[in-house]
Amino acid sequence: QQQVKQSPQSLIVQKGGISIINCAYENTAFDYFPWYQQFPGKGPALLIAIRPDVSEKKEGRFTISFNKSAKQFSLHIMDSQPGDSATYFCAASSPSTSGTYKYIFGTGTRLKVLA
Amino acid sequence: NAGVTQTPKFRVLKTGQSMTLLCAQDMNHEYMYWYRQDPGMGLRLIHYSVGEGTTAKGEVPDGYNVSRLKKQNFLLGLESAAPSQTSVYFCASNRSPLGREQYFGPGTRLTVT
């Protein structure tokens, strides 16, 4: 119930195309869903995040679509560029009894955008 | 602001050796975390701290110890390294309770032979 399932494992997209990465969760206590972008040799960096009271959030070329009833959320990268080539992680977070937040990460999607 | 920094960047240990990884943040964040990242497994929480002088176990704490003597520093120790601890280690922090965004350091790649 604590897992976050992410797919696909890898993705190749042509420049200008749309990249779509999907995540699914089980625990309804999750109340914050971030996406992280990680370049080789670097730490993950927050890209965009959503809370379950909205169905979509857009920031530039990046959009999160959230389906609360299906317990699924996805990242859409419009007009994908070679500079978007990175590993993307979804995560789900909930408050924990210790006073901090629990974060469960997906297994990552390696995106390659061809020039 | 340097954000979250980690030292060292790379390390090779022999089985049974010990070492300490240092994480430092200059954002005055209360909460700090240590994760390990293994291929195909995402990030898994080792230990975390909700403030100076406090630590708690995460998902995979065995074989690791931590200390948070100063608010800005979070140390991860391996007392007797094992090959299973070969991984990339990331430190993260967040403001809490107001901020949910986690800020990650650049990572430490550890190889245990």
pLDDT in tens, B13-33: 999 999 999 999 999 999 999
- Residues of B whose CB is below 8 A from A32: 100
Query: Other CB atoms closer than 10 Å to residue B56's CB: what's the count?
Result: 15
Nearest by CB: B106 against A43, A98, A105: A43
For residues B41 and A108, the answer to whether their CB atoms sit within 8 Å is: no
Query: Other CB atoms closer than 10 Å to residue A113's CB: what's the count?
Result: 20
Mean pLDDT over residues B71-75, rounded?
Answer: 97
Element (H, E) at A45: strand A45-50
Q: What is the pLDDT of residue B2?
A: 80
* Angle B87-A109-A27 from CA coordinates, rounded to 5°: 90
Tell the residue number behind the tokens 């992680």, with chain if given. Answer: A89
Q: Is A80 helix (H, G, I), strand (E, B) or coil?
A: coil
Q: What is the pLDDT of residue A2?
A: 67
Q: Is the peptide bond before A82 cis (omega within 30 degrees of 0)?
A: no
Question: Residue A41: exposed, middle, or buried by beta-carbon count in 10 A (0-12, 13-18, 19+)?
Answer: exposed
Say which residue, A98 or B71, is predicted with more confidence.
Answer: B71
- Residues of B whose CB is below 8 A from A41: 106-107
Lowest mean pLDDT across A60-64, B26-30, B61-65, B74-78:
B26-30
Which residues face B92 on adjacent strands? B33, B104
pLDDT > 90 fraction of chain A, expressed in percent and rounded: 88
Q: What is the pLDDT of residue B100?
A: 82
Tell the residue number behind the tokens 């070492």, with chain if given. Answer: B19
Query: Other CB atoms closer than 10 Å to residue A58's CB: what's the count?
Result: 12
To the nearest whole angstrom, how far is the Cα of B23 from the nearest Cα of chain A? 13
To the nearest whole angstrom, how far is the Cα of B106 from the nearest Cα of chain A? 4
Inter-chain residue contact A93 with B97, CB threshold 8 Å: no
To the nearest whole angstrom, how far is the Cα of B30 from the nearest Cα of chain A? 10
Q: What is the pLDDT of residue A98?
A: 74
Residue B45: pLDDT over 80: yes
Percent of chain A that is helix, strand, coil (3-state, to 5) = 5, 55, 40
Q: Is the peptide bond before A40 cis (omega within 30 degrees of 0)?
A: no
Q: How confident is the model at residue A1 (pLDDT cuts 50, 70, 90)?
A: low
Mean pLDDT over residues A54-64, rounded?
Answer: 96
Q: How many CB pairs under 8 A join A and B?
A: 59
* CA–CA distance, A78 with A87 (Å, rounded to integer): 16
* C-alpha B64 chain-centroid distance: 10
* CA–CA distance, A30 with A63 (Å, rounded to integer): 19
For residues B74 and B84, the answer to whether their CB atoms sit within 8 Å is: no
Mean pLDDT over residues A67-87, rounded?
Answer: 97
pLDDT digits (tens, 9 = 90+) for B81-110: 999 999 999 999 988 666 788 999 999 999
Query: Which among B56, B69, B54 is positioned nearest to A102, based on CA atoms?
Result: B56
For residues A23 and A6, the answer to whether their CB atoms sit within 8 Å is: yes
Instruction: Classify residue A22 by its DSSP letter.
Output: E
